[in-house]
Amino acid sequence: MKLLKMIFGICDTGGPSDEGCWSVSDHQIVVGMNRAKEILTPGGAVRLEGKGLSGKILLFHGLDGKFYAVKNKCTHIGGRRIDPTIEHDRLKCCSVMGSVFNYKGEVVSGPARKPLVSYPVTTESGRLIISLQKETA
């Protein structure tokens, strides 16, 4: 089954179980940490899609305890999504080619040549704020 998922580019990371945990306005995403149970522990991640976003975002809780957000679009095969790896501080494309990136979105290995677009994440009053205006690549 894992090989089929890789061939078809199906990632393991799902959307939030509580769609009301996040909103988009004024070029930022606000996520209520108390409602986004998928990201409460290091290694957790959630896909944010829809609600007026122009693209797909992967929000994840790094093994280092920090929160990160990247455009959920592999730079090698553009339509493929990204998943965090549980045992390492890396992100991996869900395709067979398996490009690997660090938490900042920089290419570590695989065929991708460009970094992922990353977004600053700040914590404020029990909320995560992802700034969409300050993307870095």
pLDDT of residue 73: 85
pLDDT value of residue 84: 77
Count of Cβ atoms closer than 10 Å to residue 135 Cβ? 17
Q: Which residues contact 124 (CB under 8 A, 6 or more apart)?
A: none
Q: Please tell me the predicted confidence (pLDDT) of residue 92.
A: 83
Alpha carbon separation from 51 to 19, 21, 24, 55, 73 (Å, rounded): 10, 12, 7, 10, 18
State pLDDT tens for residues 68-114. Answer: 999 988 888 766 777 777 667 888 876 666 788 999 999 998 888 89
Domain boundaries, the chain: 2-131
C-alpha triplet 110, 46, 11: angle, nearest 5°:
45
Decide the pairing of beta strands 28-32 and 22-25: antiparallel
2-131 CATH: 2.102.10.10
pLDDT band for 28, please (50, 70, 90 cuts).
very high
114-126: b (≥16 Cβ within 10 Å) or e: ebbbbbebeeeee
SS3 call for 95: coil
Note the pLDDT tens digit of each residue in 32-69.
999 999 999 999 999 999 998 988 999 999 999 999 99
pTM for this structure? 0.87
